[in-house]
A and B are shown apart, each in its own frame.
Chain A
């Protein structure tokens, strides 16, 4: 009895959070995804401090060594340790993707909530503006922007943010439009709340779940895009470690030094899958479907 009461008390404040956590725990894919994502973040933050070698340090005596005790992932053409490059590459992709997604979320929520709440011609205007961006396939848009602005981390952030923000705006607009018809919004008007207050205190907090899910899934897309750009030679400047760029360099050696492609490639696959699994589980957790009676 006592433990049950205690559980009820604890659930009081954070019940949404613990309920969501419980639901994710049940979804095996989600748990795997969550672990991968957490692992990725930890590696990005702490990895480079713990990497065995300097990823940019060339050592031509040690070039193209297959995986061994000294070099777990082997070395590349320049004698650089592949493991270290993969670890530092994680940080590279993480810093770029999280910046890009954060910017896209911010702009997206701003535009989407104004559009959804105010409606009318402003809504039309913003929607048509978004349409322009959504007309382009994402990767093409990214390539075009990087081609114009030149390579480099900041420009990649811009490129990804630009093709990502419209979906956040759309989602925010849709949820704002549905939430604003709830009675508690009307109740807020009845107690004299200002429009800004209604938007920030009543509407947005209730409209964020789909945005959170989309942001998680977008991280995967962003990381994939960074690597794609890198692969095409439009990514971060050499000799900086980045998975896609390294993959491009590894192409010519695929036959006799496959480890140069395998490890960066697996890293990309794992991380992107991890975000997708976790994002899907999060979606299911935040929007539980009504079970049959």
Chain B
């Protein structure tokens, strides 16, 4: 997993908002699941995105691929601005930027055979001519561990793990450079999850893929990612090399998040804290840092000013005033 210097995907102050009614009787309000997010993903690396409900990681993944329309900011793929392209123009880029969804039970069209499902990208992206079609489909299917006899079947005849393999096949058939993996193993059993994770790492090596791996399962993210970004209420609050984030946990939220993960290790028994702090809803308005109500280290300025990203180590940035003196503002994250 050598990190190259080439930036495959970049976002600048990416904004995604929704106007939502809190309940039937209230006025619709704006929420910002992606609140001016800036990041860079380098060729060949896997960037893991972790966070809890409302952090915006799923929205971020979809907005980057223009499956949701951004409301502000910019998206660059391979240096080219794709933020405002028409859908027809996007089609040329979609060949290179694909996605695998979380739920294998609903991400495949129940009325299409596997052959049909894999044929569509070939037709749309004009990947090969008609005579080569069956070969390309079969080759891709074999790459994910399935075979010829599976082609005429329908999705409901397969197990969750097999369906996820089909979803991966659909994503890689156009030989993309960049794949967003949105909780690809969360709906699977532990043993099947291991199979899919191994498949993904294998394909990554084979084809020099770049992954954005979104998950709430921190141990899986740690296993597969080169860098981790921690999100909270629409912002990246910490981003850096995996081990550095996992063990140093600079941001107060990162501390709580990672220490909450129950480890399958009987020698390391955790202390369960009996507090009741929870993630506030996206409707809550903050003038300053969004973590202020739950933060044990809060200072006066935290309620009034929004912290920027401060460098704490090599390639490692944290959005917290505690680190303001240590680093200079700006850098990779804003």
Contacts and interface: CB of A to CB of B under 8 A. Distances in A.
A191 B127 CA distance: 12
Given A183-B101, A184-B106, A190 B152 contact: no
A150 B111 CA distance: 44
Interface in A54-77: none
Contacts of B157: 12, 15
B234 to A, nearest CB: 21
A183 B164 CA distance: 13
B107 interface: yes
B154 A187 contact: no
Contacts of A192: 90-91, 94-95, 121, 124-125
Contact of A190 (B67, B103, B109, B153): B67
Given A12-B157, A15-B157, A183-B106, A193 B120 contact: yes
B97 to A, nearest CB: 9
A128 interface: no
Contacts of B41: none
Contacts of B120: 188, 191, 193, 201
A174 to B, nearest CB: 18
Contacts of B167: 187
B94 A190 contact: yes
Contacts of A7: none
Nearest to A205: B111
A201 B117 CA distance: 11
Interface in B62-97: 62, 65, 67, 87, 90-91, 94-95
A194 B167 CA distance: 20
B4 to A, nearest CB: 25
B63 to A, nearest CB: 13
A195 to B, nearest CB: 8
A277 B166 CA distance: 40
B98 interface: yes
B128 interface: no
User: How large, as a class, is the contact surface on chain B?
Assistant: 20 to 34
A183 B108 CA distance: 8
B170 A201 contact: no
B112 interface: yes
Contacts of A188: 109, 120
B330 interface: no
Contact of B101 (A13, A187, A205): A187
A206 B110 CA distance: 8
Contact of B109 (A12, A184, A189): A184
A202 interface: yes
Given A13-B152, A187-B99, A191-B121, A206 B111 contact: yes
Contact of A201 (B103, B112, B152): B112
A13 B102 CA distance: 26
Q: A12, A182, A183, A206 — which one has the most chain B CB atoms within 10 A of its CB? A: A183
Nearest to B68: A186
Contacts of B65: 190
Contact of A206 (B95, B109, B121, B153): B109
Nearest to B113: A13
B101 A186 contact: yes
Interface in B209-245: none
B170 A191 contact: yes
A15 B154 contact: yes
A76 to B, nearest CB: 51
Interface string A82-109: 0000000000000000000000000000
3 interchain residue pairs of minimum CB distance: A205-B111, A192-B91, A183-B107
Interface of A: 12-13, 15-16, 182-184, 186-194, 201-202, 205-206
8 contacts: A183-B102, A190-B65, A190-B67, A191-B120, A191-B174, A194-B87, A202-B111, A206-B110
